[in-house]
Amino acid sequence: MSQESNQGAAEELKLDNQLCFAIYATVHSYNRLYKPLLDPIELTYPQYLVMLVLWEGDDLTVKEVGQRLLLDSGTLTPLLKRLEAAGRVRRTRDLVDERQVRITLTPEGQALKRIAATIPAEINLATGLGAKCIEDLRRELVALWTGLEARLDGHAASKS
């Protein structure tokens, strides 16, 4: 291997040149920003995500919430149990299909929506980016995510 190709390989393997690390570090910073905003309403970030889904559309099955958040029921169930213990949601068996568990907001869970409404603006302000830049970045990240998922789905299909 030539010294030139060795240098190219070394550059490609630098941590600071990795898109995955930039995304990882950004997520880490986002989580640190959210914590002091969520602490007063006694929600963790994953619980906040569940609440966002329920504020969009209440009375969903665990499966529907899991699909929306890309979480399996084994990960989601403990979150929902803690939210239920805190009086934020109610879990009940579906009347038609008892295998399904439905999640509904309690009045307290519904009231949190009004309090949490300021959080997105505070987070956006903390980025230092303008609204258009934030929306463009969000759109690009969704395109990246969609492309990666298509690649993963294609990989899974070729192995079966």
Q: At what angle do helices 73-85 and 45-56 cross, to 10 degrees?
A: 90
Q: Return the C-alpha torsion angle 138, 139, 142, 144, nearest 10.
A: -100
> pLDDT truncated to tens, each residue of the chain (160 aa)?
566 666 667 888 999 999 999 999 999 999 999 999 999 999 999 999 999 999 999 999 999 999 999 999 899 999 999 999 999 999 999 778 888 899 999 999 999 999 999 999 999 999 999 999 999 999 999 999 999 999 998 877 777 6
Task: Give one word for 67, left, alpha or beta, with left for phi > 0 and alpha for psi -120 to 50.
Answer: alpha
Please list the residues that pair with 100 across neighbouring strands.
none
